[in-house]
Amino acid sequence: MARKDGSMAKLGAGGYIAWMLVFLAVVSGLVYFDLISTDGVLLRAFAYNWALNSTIVAVLFIGILYSFGQVVQVGRATWWIRRSWRFGHAEQPGLMVANPGGAPPLLSAVGALFAERPGPIVFDTFEFRSILDSVGTRLDESREITRYMIGLLIFLGLLGTFWGLLKTVSSVGGTIDALAQAGDASEAVFSKFLDDLREPINGMGTAFSSSLLGLAGSLVLGFLDLQASQAQNRFFNNFEEYLSRASELGAPRPGGLDDY
């Protein structure tokens, strides 16, 4: 929350990033031990369908980077507020911004407002709600992108499942037809039957491997999205409380921009 002297409380973005890094380290450790194990399944599962599984991993990687970017974004916004925003003198209440042009993307609209109105500003109710709505909308849009990626991972996993099942059904049907046309039980026919069974097995491998990677990826990205959402919610609550002080004539503290 905002402090009694009007300064913006620290977001603690480093704490959220630390939890995200710890979680990724644990997941990476589990993947590493599976890869070096003689009976590991991930590499073999990945090989069943390189194209689809590579797409799943790529979406997961992009989602991880984007989740970290969300936390860094609100951290930059808090740093800018703590560095540039100050309440005016008791004789001239309001809020002043030392460097409105240096506003981060999340608060670009706020920076533009202060650039147009230099000097201490006391917001009315309409301006107060407009600024909060602007920041809240930007935060909501960033959350929607992450949640779309989570849904996309699940969709890709299901897509691979049905793709593999279709390959399995088609291959089994072809194998049965080949046996029916052979008409005998010679060794050559039996050998061909074993060869034909590889296609249904590959189809099941595609189905299960894509489901495994898709669901595991959505789990990883879901935890990172949770941390990013908590960081954003904390920032928004601090920002709302801090900004509300500029809408009250009795809120300013002694000292202005020259005191920091």
CB of 11 closer than 8 Å to CB of 231: yes
The pLDDT value given to residue 148: 93
Name the pLDDT band for 176 (thresholds 50, 70, 90). Answer: low
Distance CA 55, CA 49 (A): 10
Residue 85: strand pairing partners: 97
Between 199 and 24, whose confidence is greater? Answer: 24
**pLDDT by residue (tens digit) across 54-103?**
999 999 999 999 999 999 988 888 888 888 777 665 556 667 777 777 78
Instruction: Look up the pTM and report it.
Output: 0.76
Cα 78–chain centre separation: 20
Return the structure tokens found at 213.
């990677």
Between 64 and 8, whose confidence is greater? Answer: 64
Q: Is the dihedral of CA 80, 232, 230, 237 positive or negative?
A: positive
14 burial (CB, 10 Å; 0-12 / 13-18 / 19+) is exposed
- SS3 at position 121: strand
Helix ranges restricted to H, 85-197:
108-116, 125-182, 187-196
The pLDDT value given to residue 184: 54
Return the structure tokens found at 149.
């990626």
Least confident piece of the model among 83-92, 145-154, 223-232: 83-92
Between 48 and 146, whose confidence is greater? Answer: 146
Between 165 and 8, whose confidence is greater? Answer: 165
Identify the DSSP state of 254. Answer: S
Q: Where are the domains of the chain?
A: 13-253
pLDDT of residue 45 exceeding 70: yes
pLDDT of residue 164 exceeding 70: yes
**Type and span of the H or E element at 95:** strand 95-97
CA separation, residue 86 to residues 206, 207, 245, 254, 257 (Å): 59, 58, 11, 10, 6
In degrees and rounded to multiples of 5, residue 5 shows phi and psi of -85, 5
The pLDDT value given to residue 67: 93
Residue 224's identity, in one-letter code, is L
Name the pLDDT band for 197 (thresholds 50, 70, 90). Answer: low
Q: How many CA atoms lie within 13 A of 134 on its CB side?
A: 15
